Amino acid sequence: MLPYIHNVVGLVGVAVAVATATAAMVDRFTRRRAVFGWVAALALAVMLGSWGGLPAAAYVRGVTGDLSVTTLVLVAHALGRGLFGWPQLTRRSLRALQAFLVAAALLLYPFALGLGMQDPYRLGYANPGFVGAVLALALASWLVRLDLVAVTLALAILAWAFGAFESDNLWDYLIDPVVALYAAGALIWAVGLTWQGRRRAREGGLRLDATDQGSSRADPRFRQL
């Protein structure tokens, strides 16, 4: 009795995500590409190794479920950056993706958990209007050069159309609670840094543009995913 292929895809996605996150955390201290690669490989082996008859990633997946395409795009970029030195994502694109995720989470989760009779999650079951809206958002993002958002949305629709994961619902390819939490945390952090930068500028008599560039540039964490 072999598992469905979408379960294998979901399991590998979780294993790679955990391995990449582990390597990225170690990389903060070592900053060496080789170390990143070895840690990622070791963590991947641990996640796919058998623990009590199941891969370790299966226990993580028992809690998180399958990760969305959005999470996997960010993980793939972090992996490429750690292993091959890919350039960092532009702050504008990343902020736009984070804003999209936070907006989607606010729209989706309270109602899906029972707030009222309308459940936006229902739209994800192949509602043509919803699919069209996500496609339109992808195209609009491309036109205004938010390529990260455009590519992520397009890949999510493609993965959903081909049934890559166990979910039949497009929402699950766009967002998951892990990436929603990351996006909310990153946006709150960015807003905090902007506010702090402005306050310092006021106190020091400096004049800054109304962007977060002055403050976040000084923080190396913003150069990493």
Partner 1 sequence: MLRRPSPRSALRALALGLIVAAAVAGTLRAAQRPPVASFAAPPDTTSTSAQPHFVTRFVSSTQGVQTHSASLVELRDGRVRAFWFEGSREGAGDVVIRTAVFDPVTSRWGNAQVAVTRKQTQHGLLRSVRKLGNPVPARQADGTLWLFYVTVSVGGWAGSSITAVRSTDEGANWSAPRRLITSPFLNVSTLVRGAPVLLADHTLVLPVYHEFLGKFGELLRIGVDGTVIDKQRLSDGRDGLQPILLVQSPADALALMRWGGEAQPPRVIVTRTRDGGRTWSTPAKTALANPNSAVTGVVLPDGRMVVALNDVGGDRDQLSLIVSSNGGRDWRVAAVLEDQLWFRDTPRGSARYVERSRRLAADTDPERAGDGSAHAESARRQMCVLRSPCAFEFSYPFLLETSTGDIHVVYTWNRSFVKDVQFNSAWLDERLKGADVAVHP
Among 28, 32, 122, 200, binds partner 1 (CB under 8 A): 122
Q: Is 166 in the site for partner 1 (CB under 8 A)?
A: yes
| Shortest distance, position 10 Cβ to partner 1, whole Å | 7
How many amino acids of this chain bind partner 1 (CB under 8 A)?
A: 62
Among 76, 142, 189, 198, binds partner 1 (CB under 8 A): 142
Q: Is 42 in the site for partner 1 (CB under 8 A)?
A: no
Of the candidates 60, 58, 61, 22, the residue with the CA atom closest to the CA atom of residue 40: 22
Q: Using the Cα atoms of residue 52, residue 53, residue 54 and residue 55 in order, give the sign of their dihedral.
A: positive
Site string for partner 1, 169-208 (x = CB under 8 A): x-xx--xxx-------------------------------
Residues 86 and 105: their CA atoms lie apart, in Å, by: 29
Residues 78 and 42: their CA atoms lie apart, in Å, by: 17
| Shortest distance, position 183 Cβ to partner 1, whole Å | 15
| Shortest distance, position 182 Cβ to partner 1, whole Å | 15
Region near partner 1 per CB under 8 A, out of 25-33, 140-148, 187-195, 200-208: 140-148
Site string for partner 1, 102-121 (x = CB under 8 A): ------xx--xxxxxxxx-x
Give 36 or 165: the residue with its C-beta nearer to partner 1.
Answer: 165
Residues at the contact surface with partner 1, assessed by CB under 8 A: 1-4, 7-8, 10-11, 53-55, 58-59, 61-65, 108-109, 112-119, 121-122, 124-128, 131, 134-135, 138-139, 142, 145, 147, 150-151, 153-155, 157-158, 160-162, 166-169, 171-172, 175-177
